[in-house]
Amino acid sequence: MLAIVDYGMGNLHSVGKAVERLGAEAVVTADRETIRRASGVILPGVGAFADAMKELTASGLDEAVKEFAAGGKPLVGICLGMQLLFSRGEEHGNEAGLGLLPGSVVRFQGGYKVPHMGWNRLSFRRESPLTEGVEEGYVYFVHSYHALPERQEDLIAVTDYHQPVTAIVGRGNIYGMQFHPEKSGETGLKLLANFIRLCE
């Protein structure tokens, strides 16, 4: 069973439906024990980094997610959920993140449209169990801030939006996708299916 963490800021329904469509059992939960027992955890998110960290911390779910990650079972962050995996985010202040991956989350800077919204193609930087059998297809992004990993080996895939933009990250059992795989057609569903397989 997969646990989808409910801290009040996630796109929970569509993520849950996508997981079920792929034949896996998922529960939307804010219960620490349910999260601890899960075979895999999905940390979704829509909104601002600082607000999300406040919600996670107030509920104790920040520690629940960190404890789960330390146990070695697969964890994936989606959109804002991926950003929260990093050390810090500058959205609405300079807020500490979960610190599971070293790096920062910064606002897009330049004379182009922000937020970055729409379909962009993935470009793989290294092999990963998450991308096995997946082509460098198009996926759906909606974000005004992007992650800058400190360690290039944590970078699995980028996309291009006036610069290389972090799209997929991973280290050990911890993964993140900046885009919405549940809204990204066949490519997104294949990525989710690979994550589910890692949890089995």
Active site residues: 79, 180, 182
| Rg, Å, the chain Cα set | 15
Closest CA to 183 of 117, 114, 112: 117
Separation CA 170–CA 64 (nearest Å): 19
> Smallest Cα–Cα separation from 55: which of 40, 45, 68?
45
- Relative to beta strand 2-5, strand 26-29 is parallel
Q: How many residues does the chain have?
A: 200
Report how far apart the first and last C-alpha atoms of the chain are (Å, whole number).
9
Q: Is residue 152 exposed (0-12), middle (13-18) or buried (19+ Cβ within 10 Å)?
A: exposed
